[in-house]
Amino acid sequence: MKVMVIGGGGREHAVIRKLKENPAITEIFALPGNGGIAADAACVPIGAKDIPSIVSFAEANAIDYAVVTPDDPLVLGCVNALEEIGVPCFGPRAEAAIIEGSKVFAKDLMKKYNIPTARYEVFTELDAALDYVRSCPIPVVVKADGLALGKGVVVARSREEAEQAVRESMENHKFGKSGEKLVIEEFLEGPEVSVLSFTDGKTIVPMVSSMDHKCAFDGDTGPNTGGMGTVAPNPYYTEAVARRCMEEIFLPTVRAMQAEGRPFKGCLYFGLMITKDGPKVIEYNCRFGDPETQVVLPLLESDLFTIMRAVTEERLSDVEVKFRPESACCVILASRGYPGSYEKGFPLEIPEAIRDQVYVAGAALKDGRLVTNGGRVLGCTAVAESLPRAIEAAYALADQVKFENAFCRRDIGQRALRAKEEV
């Protein structure tokens, strides 16, 4: 079978590696992939948002199955377009991907179906939004309605900061159309947990939980990034919490989308806050998380392609989804300066012996050699029988990869280790 994967980051590299375990797959194409992914799939220079070219490629190459992983093509209707020409897909159609594409949609859905989340107000007028943040409790969270490359959320710890966030979005149009509407919501406190799940619109099967590290620097300081590292499982996600999440959040969400005529099929990502009043939804994503996928999929014991096809064919309840009872840690190596501006084009050495544990995110091939080509360059993932060992092994891997200007956080997993003492 010929499979194509849309996207070109570390997450897609992890998906491709896992897909390769299925012998029925004879060829994998990555659109666009990257220089590191090129070792595992045929990379095709078609951008993930170029839906007409993706459709033409699928037709011309008789693609049997497509996996669409990034948010943009999902929200833009890539799955709808591929299904129209008869290519079965893993990923939600646009009408379901809106759960990530519009925060207003997501919040209104949660309100309508009593799914626990932060209290919120929606604003479409600058003056009304400014009036609100001048009197609401602080801290407060200001969120652009649409996709904003993960930068549309400001946790404002002062009134001035909240006002500035409102102005940047609605007056200066920092996020274009995405920021014309705002959700302004209550600040929640508690540890965060990421839970990715498989769902075919009826059945939902959560994957192993994980913990992201979004700040650029150690001790959760510095600017917000796409994620500097992950561990799985997340110790705050106890069995009791998992049970509540299933009853109060996961099943109600899947049923709500079904009831709205927007059945969600694919990977539904729950960004959760474990507050003192129980788990609450911080955000939904319509896709695998990055770098959560780089710790979750290495722990998946069952065959990914079998599960994906069962999701597409709405028979998820018939297949086994089993995770190894082990721990994983992924440490991201980034270009110094990320998430701001950074230099690229530096030669990148990944020793052959550890290649299978490295997921490449931002690298290109230049004269047959890998060079850095992005902010997050790669992730090193180690799986071990305990979290401390996984962390140690992931750093041992990271220390073997060399490129100029590299930096990583040195404390990935430390919060999880401390949590083990708390819960």
Determine the interface stretch with ligand AMP among 85-93, 186-194, 287-295, 404-412 (rule: CB under 6 A).
186-194
Select from 362, 310, 304 the least CA-distant residue to 7: 362
Residue 121 lies near ligand AMP (rule: CB under 6 A): no
Residue 212 lies near ligand GLY (rule: CB under 6 A): yes
Whether 408 and 330 have beta carbons less than 8 Å apart is answered as no
Of the pair 40, 212, the CB lying nearest ligand GLY is at 212
Tell me the per-residue interface mask from 209 to 228 with ligand AMP, x by CB under 6 A, - otherwise. Answer: -----x--------------
Whether 365 and 39 have beta carbons less than 8 Å apart is answered as no
Whether 48 and 31 have beta carbons less than 8 Å apart is answered as yes
Residue 228, both tokens: 């500097």
Whether 260 and 109 have beta carbons less than 8 Å apart is answered as yes
Q: CB of residue 304 vs ligand AMP: minimum separation in angstroms?
A: 25
Amino acid letter, 423: V
3-state SS of the chain: helix, strand, coil percent to 5?
35, 30, 35
Among 71, 72, 200, 283, binds ligand AMP (CB under 6 A): 283
Of the pair 214, 389, the CB lying nearest ligand AMP is at 214
Determine the 3-state secondary structure of 46 from DSSP. Answer: coil
Residue 227 lies near ligand GLY (rule: CB under 6 A): yes
Of the pair 87, 331, the CB lying nearest ligand GLY is at 331
Buried b / exposed e along 78-111 (16+ C-beta atoms within 10 A): bbbbbeeeebebbbbbbbbbbbbbbbbbbbebbe
Among 109, 141, 166, 416, binds ligand AMP (CB under 6 A): 141
Whether 34 and 360 have beta carbons less than 8 Å apart is answered as yes
Residue 75 lies near ligand AMP (rule: CB under 6 A): no
Residue 12 lies near ligand GLY (rule: CB under 6 A): no
What gap in Å lies between CA 360 and CA 63, rounded to an integer? 24
The CA–CA distances, whole Å, from 273 to 236, 276, 278, 280 equal: 10, 9, 8, 5
What gap in Å lies between CA 43 and CA 51, rounded to an integer? 16
Determine the interface stretch with ligand AMP among 13-21, 32-40, 56-64, 150-158 (rule: CB under 6 A).
150-158
Determine the interface stretch with ligand GLY among 52-60, 256-264, 284-292, 312-320 (rule: CB under 6 A).
284-292
Distance from the first to the final alpha carbon of the chain: 46
Of the pair 34, 285, the CB lying nearest ligand GLY is at 285
Of the pair 275, 400, the CB lying nearest ligand AMP is at 275
Of the pair 293, 312, the CB lying nearest ligand AMP is at 293
Whether 106 and 99 have beta carbons less than 8 Å apart is answered as yes
Residue 188 lies near ligand AMP (rule: CB under 6 A): yes
Radius of gyration for the alpha carbons in the chain, expressed in angstroms and rounded: 21
Among 150, 278, 337, 388, binds ligand AMP (CB under 6 A): 150
Of the pair 81, 413, the CB lying nearest ligand GLY is at 413
Residue 191 lies near ligand GLY (rule: CB under 6 A): no
Binding partner at 289 among ligand GLY, ligand AMP, none, C-beta below 5 to 8 Å by kind:
ligand GLY
Q: Which stretches of the chain bind ligand AMP, using CB under 6 A?
A: 118, 141, 150, 153, 155, 185-188, 192, 214, 271, 282-283
Q: Which residues bind ligand GLY (CB under 6 A)?
A: 212, 227, 285, 289-290, 292
